[in-house]
Amino acid sequence: MTVRLPMTRRLLARRKLLTAGLKGAFGATAAGLIGTGLIGTGLIGTGLVGSGLVGSGLVGGVPAAQAQGAVQSGALEPLEALSPDQVAALTRVERYLNDINTMQARFVQISDNGGYAQGDLYVDRPGHMRFDYDAPTPVLLIANGLTLLYYDKELKEATFLPLWETPLWFLIREEVRFDDNVEIVGIEEALGTLRVSLRDPDTPDGGVVTLVFSDRPLTLRKWELIDPQGIETQVSLVNPVYGEAIDDDLFKYHDLEVHNRRRPER
């Protein structure tokens, strides 16, 4: 018999930090799970975030403060007609993302509400991703091709949800396509940087994810997520390595010590 202690304020604060970036991003199930504090953030990112970068980005060419207000009101409109340059940019991004087979990197996660975390990221497309947070954040996230696991190392608690109902699915599905169940709300090319802002067409007020690339050569640098409350979280990659073999065991979790298994309520 396992005796579980009440969650401390420190653990509650930790979960609040981790949920900031996923809140409202792609899917009602994910949003509902975030509301219970059961799932972490930082599912996407690259490029080290400088101190002046947080809160200063653009979403589809819209200043961050204006974009945050627009997200809260659901006012960001999808791009109806793309210019030839925008179509070319999206085609380049699709090709680039689909060419990624494996990736390993350190990640740095910063939220404009003061949250900070870092750790190791492993990606093996299609379907597999692992975020292993450094202490003092005892959280492990594993996508195994079918489900996403949120594992609290201190509480020994595991939470599962379908992978396709999370922000992960777009980037690690078999084929990345911007015309398949994704709504483009912004494309911006300026100063050697390409930004593509996306949202779930089924939940337009659920939040915006912006993929940020450096250009020539095209390289993914980070993700920026703005939730319905206007909180912005940036998750950045540091020294990514592509194309090297990754141990399949990193995406298995059957050997984890689990005291409680939970699934999101529908």
The pLDDT value given to residue 77? 57
CA neighbor of 143 nearest in space, from 157, 160, 120: 160
Confidence of residue 130 (pLDDT cuts 50, 70, 90): very high
Q: Which domains does the chain have, with CATH numbers?
A: 10-243 (2.50.20.10)
Mean pLDDT value across residues 236-253: 95
* Cβ atoms 257, 67 nearer than 8 A: no
Confidence of residue 265 (pLDDT cuts 50, 70, 90): low
The pLDDT value given to residue 227? 81
Mean pLDDT value across residues 215-243: 91
What is the percentage of the chain residues whose pLDDT exceeds 90? 45
Mean predicted lDDT score pLDDT of the chain:
74
The pLDDT value given to residue 37? 27
CA dist., res. 86 & res. 33, Å (int): 34
The pLDDT value given to residue 100? 96
Q: What are 77-82's contacts with CB under 8 Å, separation 24+?
A: 77/185, 78/183, 78/184, 78/185, 78/201, 79/184, 79/185, 79/186, 79/187, 82/184, 82/187
| The pLDDT of residue 80 is above 90 | no
